[in-house]
Structure 1
Amino acid sequence: MITFEDFLMQHKARLDAHQLEAVHCDVNCVVSAGAGSGKTTVLSYRFLRLVLEGKAQVGEILTLTFTRKAAREMQERIHRHLLCCKNDERIVGQLATFSEASISTLDSFCSQIVRSDSIRYGIAQDFVIDDEQNLRNARRCATELLDTWPQSQGARILCGLYSPDKLVDDVLVPLASNAYCMPKQVEEDAHVSILSAVQTVFDQSWDGFVNLLDSYANLTDTSKTVQTAREAALSLRSSLEACTSVEEKHRILCSALGYFRKPGAGKAEQMLYIKETIEEFNQLRKKLCIARSVLLGSSQLQAVLSFMQEYIASYQKQKRQSGVLTFADISSLAVDILSSNKSLRHYYKMAYKYIMIDEFQDNNEQQKQLLYLLSERLDREGDGIPGPENLKADKLFFVGDEKQSIYRFRGSDVSVFKRLSWELCANGGRHIQLDTNYRSEPALIQWFNTLFPSVMQNNGESFEADFSALGWREPSEGIQSKCTVLIKPYESKLDEDEEDAADTDAEAYAVASLIDEMLHTDSYLIPSETGPHRPATSDIALLLRTTSSQLSFEKALRRFNIPYTVQAARSLMLEAPANDMYAMLQLVLYPQDRHAYMTVLRSPFCNLSDFGMTEVLDCPCFSIPDSIGPEDRSRLEAVGAFYAHLKKASATASLSSLVSLLWYESGYYLSLVATPSYQVYTEHYAFLHRLAQMQQQQGKSLSQFVDFLRDNLAQNEKIENLEVIKEQEEGVQILSIHKSKGLEFPIVVVANTGSKGRSEEDAVSTYQGISIPHYVSVPYHVSETRIETAKHAGQLLDKGTEAQLNRAELKRLLYVALTRAQTHVVVSGCFSKTNRSLAEDGRSSTLLLMLAQSLGIDIDAPALEQGIVTVRSIADIAESLLYDQKREDEQAFEQRIDAAASFYAPREEAYEMRPIRYAVTALHAPLFSETAKALPSLASDALFSEAQVADFGTFVHALCEQMVLQPSQAIDALAMLPPSLGGVNQQQVIADALFLCHAFVGSSWYRTEVQPYPVSCEVGFFSLMEHEGRAVVVEGSVDLLIKRKDHYLVVDFKTDRFRDEEVHRFQLQTYMQAMARIHQCPVKGCVVYLRDVQNIVVWEGENL
């Protein structure tokens, strides 16, 4: 009989005190396992101990992991430990039943639970999990509901608030997929919950707002700043008190009335009071605007909720009918099933004596609830989720590291893991910390211990990770760890040098140059069993926060002939292999496609010469003209034979088989490996082959596969779920920080750290736990000049928390990235105009700025030599450095160009593109003469820029037209004011505009010449006329067209500051000629200068 202690001695397993403490723990326990601390070892040894001590059979221990890879690794390791004990008869029996051991991902286990009781939810037990198919189903349900005619009120509201693509892909589909997992529905009384909470916020905000407003109105300091604030407050208070309706009060709150600037310097008591309270005052007013907008839009809220109820019901019905669920559905259903099905819960409680969970920092509250349900005391079967006091005392064993929680975008919540240890410890459990890092060299660990206390500093927030000093192992002999930081400072370049590479390319070049140094010098030695040696390319990992700049690093590595491998094929559709494969498959489907044919001939499939290309240009596909040379003839014959073979195979072969044919049997692969600089493209086959398999599994035909390739060619986008499992990694490994989690590398390069990541747009509303689209759109002022829009109740929540959550995860990303390294670390990044400054709350928004702050680096002149840390500046480089520097002989180059010149000579002159449609005003620019008469000025003239002068004229035109057409109707001038004029003194602008309009409609000329007759406004027309010796179409719009007894009168308004009728003669003549042709009667015309309506000259047609 083998004991656990015997096993440790026989296999010389050395566990430190904390690891042994965790392995021997027999109460509910949370183990905080830092990077490289041996958490997998602890889990596998604890499993073995429980079996060796007879506390559980292998089938009575539930072991859950985050990924399938981790589950496989755990299963292999535990099985290997048990095999070492096969001399023990008890263990022989356990090995015989090891296939029944429950070692799986949490998703897989949830699926098992759901299959036990899915019928109760109308779901067949043979359901499948397919997130991609569900996205397509959600999209189809949304589109069908929006296209239903007549549209529901909710659909009409949503179509008015969002663009069609955004509404479906960014709003409805994510809501259905993430917020309403089965069996969750949109609650019937959701609008009551939302409106009640909003009314509470309004009432609370109103009290605080009124108190501050009164305090400002009662200020007594005589300084100009304080008096300005007092007058603004008095004006706002009196306007609010005069309101007779809720709507009117809301309009005043949303207006620019009552805003004033925050005081600058000054230490007077009342000025300091304003400084301290103005931000709170503006925030309260903002909340009032949003809350009242929601309350007034209650009918719109109910309409959108009704639409969402119908949409979610339709989508979930589709799930039941198709039997296709998501991973999120499985997790949600598993918790619901165990909560309500007590007999099934009892079965699972009895089935497992112990539960061990790895990487729990990447889970959330729902998954914790699942584990609490499984660990409920055997003597209890209560309703709902059991509390920590009702758990079996020795069943749960959680392992995780709050510093490595980086999957918030998948729903993980680090606060759950942090709260877990407190809950269990308060009820007899334990919290054990594994704080020794066995992965990294001691010098790196010591640097981490100085860096991360400042990086991860916090005020005890639940979403922040806490860092405690790490222990370290013995150093490797002969190794001196290095941390190299490469920073490109921001340079304001007025004249961008076209020959300089982009900053990201310069960074990539510097990183590739450093990797080349690592490979060919002794600067970055790494340990091995035989002693220190230079790293191989596969010993180096290039980690990126986002893969958007991956192409730059691939290009730079190719420049230095450094092989690499990628996890995400970001550049797959940008490079030649995908384009060549597409061209050949396109030609199989459409033999008449000459572009595809020429691409095939020029590609490695044929590699036809320039001369050969010109000769076959007008020949049928794969026919061989007599004029081409023997080498081109041989190439054409070979590619023609392969094409015939491929076309025949396309009738029966799978998509992945066709890709294999294209890659290997065509000779394409050989053409790549024959050229050293092209060998990096050889791994593209694995991704193209996997892509074909994915399309195949979705039931796609060859034509649909070709359509997919065509749509994605030349797109620098990552193809979702396109991942390849490789037998071995060769070359520098390029992967995201998220993908690197759980891995380790001798040398880690953390690049592109200046990236801010993708900004999240507020596309949906979540309030009172209810997630729905936006439902109102009400503009409101947040200052005298700045306007925002009230869209939903979720805007009442503190948005600063979201920024804090993102920044907290950014800190953890840095920790994960750096702790992947065993021996050396390199960090690189570029500062730009947008990422060099701290966020509004004074915190760093990028990994680079965070690191620079912690190290005390001057970002404008980065340089530092401190311990193992070296900071270098990245210099600008010429773009030509990124490309192969091998050049052919100049004489040979000239001869080749001369020989090919005739091939590229244009057959005819390029066609000159000239517009054929003009605005009347574009054909004759107004030029005032020196004799032009100055007209009366307006107070607002001094406020306008050149562009705003034209907008003011448009505004006056609109007011005049409304006064002429609807003289008895009140005018809302503020609503008609162009947005471009909102930043100036609005009251003065409106007053001057109305003054001009009233002067016109009140003039004697208007009463005799316009008012008695039928009038049309903005009469548009197209007219044919000659311009620069050719016929063109002229487009215009007549301000006023008055129908007189025997003629028409054209009136054109002008708000010009100078009077010169000749300036507008051409414009008016064009208008009159067009109206004469349209109405076939005489036409007169006049220019009305609104600043001088007493002096109007009417032109006869013959006088023009």
Structure 2
Amino acid sequence: MNETNQPNRETASRPREGGIAARAMAARGGPQRANYFDGLNEEQRLAVETTEGPVLVLAGAGTGKTRVLTTRIAHILSLGRAYPSQILAVTFTNKAAREMKNRIGLLVGGEVEGMPWLGTFHSIGVKILRRHAELVGLKSNFTILDTDDQIRLMKQLIQAANLDDKRWPARAFAQLVDGWKNKALTPKDIPEGDARAFANGKGRELYQAYQDRLKSLNAADFGDLLMHPIAILRAHPDVLADYHRRFRYILVDEYQDTNVAQYMWLRLLAQRTEARDGARDRGEDAIRPLVLRQAQDEGAMSASDLDPPKDTAATSNKLPHPEPVEGRGSQAQTPSPAEGHRGDSSSERVRDPRGGPAPQRAVRPASDNKVNICCVGDDDQSIYGWRGAEVDNILRFDKDFPGAAVIRLERNYRSTAHILGAASTLIAHNEDRLGKTLFTDHSHPDHEKVEVHAGWDSEEEARAIGEEIEQLQRKSHKLNDMAILVRASFQMREFEDRFVTLGLNYRVIGGPRFYERQEIRDAMAYFRSTVQPADDLAFERILNTPKRGLGDAAIRLLHDHARARAIPLMAAAAEIAATEELKPKPRKSLQEVVANFHRWSELLTSMKHTDLAEMILEESGYTEMWQNDRSAEAPGRLENLKELIRSMDLYDSLPGFLEHVALVMDAEQNAELDAVSIMTLHSAKGLEFETVFLPGWEEGLFPHQRALDEGGRSGLEEERRLAYVGITRGKKRVKIWFVSNRRIHGLWQSTIPSRFLDELPEAHVEVMEPSASYGGYGASGMGAYGASRWDRNAFSAGSYQTPGWRRAQAAQGATTAPDT
């Protein structure tokens, strides 16, 4: 959420954003409070000032949507339309919620502390659930299970059902349940096909058993934090009416990313009697379409299941008094806006729903039936369909809320005209969109066009991008301002390997770096113990991996012996293995481990290091451990081990490889390190960089074949939206790459350029001429095509002469140098 559209203020002595000084200035009615409109363009101001009725703000990338949301809340409060406690503001992440709160604090000061209903879907869901937990069979002090607890519980249930938990892993079932809950499907609602797809047709039974077990434990998982409130609001109209009175204004960020459950939750809170009746007059229920189309065909749900509940006297008896707003002692309920309204003046005060005397500022009453909901989003950036997001939610907003105002924010403050032109032309090929065209007021003839590069293979792609990054760095561009955005995570390894070779600092966003993955760290520990038997940390890591019957007691014995004799842990293991202190089975295992490392160490000088590395993983049983593992992650881990062995080819010894990796990886421990960011396109949403590299624009990879196979046209359109997101991350430079041969999971495959390339406008794109044309060869012959200048000399354990190696040494020295 990095918007550059900020008010023009003097920054020399500006207080820290969201800090005490900034909030105090806002609270005293200083210049910040009076000028919250400063810097808004015409469209942004319209979005802020249109406070009444349903509003959809279509905010394109880099158009200042966060500024609009926060200023809109400040405007509502300044006009006296609501108390802070009467505003529901929903975001998707805790980080976004904190940013929103800080920005509102700058504008309205301490009033932001009176906004208990500003948070994520789940944080607000849990507040509602704790207030009414008994209505779904829980106590108010219920426990929220994390993913590990959830999987452990599911594993118990799978085993209790006499099912093979290797064939039917709990993690896979957890993903199924999460998907069902994202669609707001209870056990009785899931389609029969889904129910039969797991555990020999026991999917529904296990789901119900899981929900029953959660209730008996007085627990809920994250999906329940929305599922249970939906059930409460639908089954208890008096509770729903209370929240209708409580929330005068509802604001939602990133509306295009909402799933079915979030949509239903919001619609229930935003619905009023008038709106529901209007929906029926149009022949459609507000909630039905998304749910029924998933379950009705399978006979799991009927249309009547979605009808709103009838008012009954019984339900009102179950409603507890609502809890007071945090920090207040009063338990008074939020009154109807009519309460406290005197005379005909629309500006008469109402009683503060939090208790206490009425404030000096007037709060204007509003109609019970008026739907004051503002959803901010961008249908062109809906890219999370694979995890349940429904782009239809934003596309049907004007149908859900007839008469809604639709305001488009198209003025971009981030990117150049060429980048915006390329992105807008590309996304215009989508049919299911509301439509907008981004533009900028700051175009310049010197701005670079979007570049398209062709390469022979993925290795050359990584080499060329690495060299271009080095060239930019020599021109004083920071690595922190550069990013490589890939469609699939397996693409990262080529760049990680290349950057390790060059000594370029990098960070992986949204997941562990290649050399930080569990299986890679284990393998590296085996190699380190072979090269340096005194490396106790490495030896301890793999001593019982795979399982060798060496429990905690045996390992404590080794540590005690090593400390007493002041010797390395491996030497202590050799001495202990020669005694009778361990039982026969662990003693034999320990003897084999020590003998293996002794033999591998002797082969360091006589055997090719890549062959030795493969032998170590085979003879230790580590490769076999993952081959026998039936989890979904095992194949990927095995492939990563193969990639690790292949990455050693650039080095002529195992010690040299280990030393180089250790040096480059250690440099990144500095949090202030200048480093290139590598991430997937999905992880890049909301971020921006001066220079963006987009490799892998080939058919089958981007658009991804699985998206095309499973989603058809809608899958293709989501892939195109993903391409749009990637291009609009760039501020000054965007460089797209495609190759004719790519190594995918260890196998070389021929590829063809992505269809998206032909959808880019020629006016904003420059096709770059490589040293040899796509699919051809350089003037120096086949072997020279794509060769990097750093590859002319082989790496040696004793002599690293590349600029990247010297750079890494310098970084290491800077990191460890004492303060002066």
Verify same fold: TM over 0.5: yes
- The within-5 A match list for 1:342-357 is 342-357=237-252
Mapped partners of 1:130, 1:302: distance in 2: 25
Instruction: Summarize the Cα distance change of 1:429–1:33 in structure 2 as closer, same or farther, 3 Å threshold.
Output: same
Match in the other structure for 1:119: 134
Match in the other structure for 2:123: 108
Per the TM alignment, residue 868 of structure 1 is displaced from its structure 2 partner at its CA by 4.9
Aligned residue type for 1:512: G
Mapped partners of 2:383, 2:672: distance in 1: 26
Contact preservation (8 Å) 1:485, 1:870 = yes
Mapped partners of 2:460, 2:434: distance in 1: 36
Q: 1:853 pairs with 732, 752, 758, which one?
A: 758
Match in the other structure for 2:89: 63
Mapped partners of 1:402, 1:333: distance in 2: 28
Higher relative contact order (CA 8 A, sep 6+): 2
Match in the other structure for 2:701: 756
Per the TM alignment, residue 800 of structure 1 is displaced from its structure 2 partner at its CA by 7.0
Mapped partners of 1:581, 1:77: distance in 2: 46
Match in the other structure for 2:421: 446
For residues 79-127 of structure 1, give each alpha carbon's deviation from its aligned partner in whole angstroms, at most 9, with x where no partner exists. Answer: 11123xxxxxxxx6x25xx154422011211122222223333333322
Q: 2:721 pairs with 812, 815, 818, which one?
A: 812
Match in the other structure for 2:390: 413
Instruction: Summarize the Cα distance change of 1:144–1:14 in structure 2 as closer, same or farther, 3 Å threshold.
Output: same
Match in the other structure for 1:950: none
Match in the other structure for 1:470: 438
Mapped partners of 1:39, 1:189: distance in 2: 37
Match in the other structure for 2:74: 48
Instruction: Summarize the Cα distance change of 1:130–1:487 in structure 2 as closer, same or farther, 3 Å threshold.
Output: same
Mapped partners of 1:547, 1:403: distance in 2: 23
- The within-5 A match list for 1:300-315 is 307-315=202-210
Match in the other structure for 1:430: 405
Contact preservation (8 Å) 1:29, 1:432 = yes
For residues 663-710 of structure 1, give each alpha carbon's deviation from its aligned partner in whole angstroms, at most 9, with x where no partner exists. Answer: xxxxxxxxxxxxxxxxxxxxxxxxxxxxxxxxxxxxxxxxxxxxxx99
Mapped partners of 1:309, 1:363: distance in 2: 25
Mapped partners of 2:138, 2:670: distance in 1: 36
Instruction: Summarize the Cα distance change of 1:811–1:556 in structure 2 as closer, same or farther, 3 Å threshold.
Output: same
Q: 1:518 pairs with 460, 463, 472, which one?
A: 472
Instruction: Summarize the Cα distance change of 1:741–1:42 in structure 2 as closer, same or farther, 3 Å threshold.
Output: same
Contact preservation (8 Å) 1:519, 1:535 = yes
Q: 1:368 pairs with 251, 260, 263, which one?
A: 263
Aligned residue type for 1:145: A
Number of positions where the alignment pairs a residue of Structure 1 with one of Structure 2: 569
Q: 1:571 pairs with 514, 525, 544, which one?
A: 514
Per the TM alignment, residue 410 of structure 1 is displaced from its structure 2 partner at its CA by 1.5
Q: 2:154 pairs with 114, 131, 138, which one?
A: 138
Match in the other structure for 1:716: 640
Aligned residue type for 1:407: Y
Mapped partners of 2:414, 2:786: distance in 1: 36
Mapped partners of 1:134, 1:58: distance in 2: 36
Instruction: Summarize the Cα distance change of 1:9–1:112 in structure 2 as closer, same or farther, 3 Å threshold.
Output: closer
- 2:533 partner SS: helix
Mapped partners of 1:303, 1:580: distance in 2: 34
Contact preservation (8 Å) 2:702, 2:754 = no
1:336 aligns with 2:231: yes
Match in the other structure for 2:768: 870
Match in the other structure for 1:543: 485
Q: 729-738 vs 62-71, which deviates more?
A: 729-738
Mapped partners of 1:733, 1:821: distance in 2: 13
Q: 327-336 vs 118-127, which deviates more?
A: 118-127
Contact preservation (8 Å) 2:742, 2:751 = no
Match in the other structure for 2:603: none
Mapped partners of 1:547, 1:103: distance in 2: 34
Per the TM alignment, residue 517 of structure 1 is displaced from its structure 2 partner at its CA by 1.6
Mapped partners of 2:752, 2:92: distance in 1: 26
For residues 362-399 of structure 1, give each alpha carbon's deviation from its aligned partner in whole angstroms, at most 9, with x where no partner exists. Answer: 00333222122212337999999974999943410000
| TM-align CA RMSD | 5.0
Match in the other structure for 2:292: none
For residues 167-207 of structure 1, give each alpha carbon's deviation from its aligned partner in whole angstroms, at most 9, with x where no partner exists. Answer: 4468655433422689955449987xx9xxxxxxxxxxxxx
Aligned residue type for 2:736: V
Instruction: Summarize the Cα distance change of 1:889–1:361 in structure 2 as closer, same or farther, 3 Å threshold.
Output: closer
- The within-5 A match list for 1:1075-1086 is none
Aligned residue type for 1:103: L
Match in the other structure for 1:826: 735
Instruction: Summarize the Cα distance change of 1:465–1:830 in structure 2 as closer, same or farther, 3 Å threshold.
Output: farther
Mapped partners of 1:832, 1:487: distance in 2: 11
Q: Percent identity?
A: 21
Contact preservation (8 Å) 1:4, 1:52 = no
| TM-score scaled by length of structure 2 | 0.60
Mapped partners of 2:182, 2:436: distance in 1: 38
Match in the other structure for 1:89: none
Q: Which runs of 5+ in 2 are unaligned?
A: 1-25, 288-307, 309-366, 540-556, 574-632, 642-667, 745-749, 778-784, 800-820
Contact preservation (8 Å) 2:256, 2:391 = yes
For residues 988-1035 of structure 1, give each alpha carbon's deviation from its aligned partner in whole angstroms, at most 9, with x where no partner exists. Answer: xxxxxxxxxxxxxxxxxxxxxxxxxxxxxxxxxxxxxxxxxxxxxxxx
Mapped partners of 1:102, 1:352: distance in 2: 9
Contact preservation (8 Å) 1:541, 1:732 = yes
Mapped partners of 1:419, 1:48: distance in 2: 28
Q: 1:128 pairs with 144, 155, 158, which one?
A: 144
Per the TM alignment, residue 55 of structure 1 is displaced from its structure 2 partner at its CA by 1.1
Mapped partners of 2:538, 2:571: distance in 1: 10
Match in the other structure for 1:398: 375
Contact preservation (8 Å) 2:60, 2:378 = yes
Contact preservation (8 Å) 1:131, 1:325 = no
1:78 aligns with 2:104: yes
Match in the other structure for 1:16: 41
Instruction: Summarize the Cα distance change of 1:466–1:886 in structure 2 as closer, same or farther, 3 Å threshold.
Output: same
Q: 1:731 pairs with 675, 683, 686, which one?
A: 675
Mapped partners of 2:483, 2:167: distance in 1: 37
- 2:53 partner SS: coil
Mapped partners of 2:143, 2:172: distance in 1: 26
Q: Which runs of 5+ in 1 are unaligned?
A: 84-91, 148-158, 195-299, 459-463, 490-502, 522-533, 584-594, 608-619, 625-635, 645-708, 718-723, 763-798, 836-844, 857-863, 891-1104
- 1:440 partner SS: coil
